[in-house]
Amino acid sequence: MNTTSLEEHLAQFGLSKEETAIYLALSGKPAHTALELSRLLRVPRTTIYDHVTSLIEKGLVERIVKYKSQQFQAYPIDILSHTIDQEKSHLDRLTISFEYLKNHIHESSAILSTSTQVRYYHGATGVRQMMWNTLSAVKENIGYSVMGRREIVGKTFLKRYLEEMDRRHILDRVIINPKKETLLYATDGILSVRTKKVALEKIRVIPAAQLHITGDTTIYNNIFAVMYWQHDEIVGVEIENPELVAMQKSIFEMLWKLSKPF
């Protein structure tokens, strides 16, 4: 494994470029003084002290104090397993807190407001949040899409989102235009991920001359949600209004009858 690759992997554990260079210089070798490290790495000795101190605090290097001198030695790489254990423990605590918040916050906001609510979202994080919100749908989501959300939210998130839809048995009816990119995303980006419950995904096609589709529109519960991600612009909006949604659902059902199975 080359040095660049080693630096990239050590960076995942929070080491800076300078700390990585020092740790690699010490790893598997006898203890060095700050002066020796300074000459070896061609870095000022005062800078060496700063970064070595940081490595000591991170538990990767030990200080060996001798009469009128001190040396530094790297701990074996196995010491990083403790960091992994800490991260796992932190993830477990986050999971427990998330489940608690999800259950109790939903309970406290269960009373629906009769007034219209509009929520705005920006960037990939906003799109992920809007998608995750659709998991609260009762029975199904309906809407129109150019597909391609995977390019915005990432394959890992999309896979987790679709698996959660399967787990909650949420039906997803979508109308698309028969464009090459859209058809490719529909087959590669969705069906390949949802191999066990493809029947839950219902897609129909309608010519762009009858309905020009852009971005992604999702209708569920009392919410009308629209996302757009073209020309370096990623935006979204949710409108919560039962009357508006009732009208949009009626329009969708008419178009669903006009469209053809995918």
Residue 224 has pLDDT above 90, yes or no: yes
DSSP H helices in the chain: 3-11, 17-26, 34-41, 45-57, 80-108, 123-133, 150-153, 155-167, 180-184, 242-258
Residue 193 has pLDDT above 50, yes or no: no
- In this structure, how many other beta carbons lie within 10 angstroms of the beta carbon of residue 183? 16
Looking at the DSSP assignment, which residues form a beta bridge with residue 238? 119, 225
> What tens digit of pLDDT does each residue of 57-74 get?
888 898 888 777 888 998
Average pLDDT of 181-187?
A: 72
**pLDDT of res. 188:** 64
Average pLDDT of 162-182?
A: 87
**Cβ-contact 178, 259 below 8 angstroms:** no
**pLDDT of res. 249:** 95
Average pLDDT of 136-157?
A: 89
**pLDDT of res. 156:** 87
Looking at the DSSP assignment, which residues form a beta bridge with residue 226? 217, 237
Q: What is the pTM of this model?
A: 0.57
> What tens digit of pLDDT does each residue of 230-257 get?
777 889 999 999 999 999 999 999 999 9
**pLDDT of res. 136:** 92
Domains of the chain: 3-78 (1.10.10.10), 116-261 (3.30.870.10)
Q: How far apart are CA 154 and CA 177, in angstroms?
A: 23
**pLDDT of res. 255:** 94
Angle CA 173–192–253, to nearest 5: 10
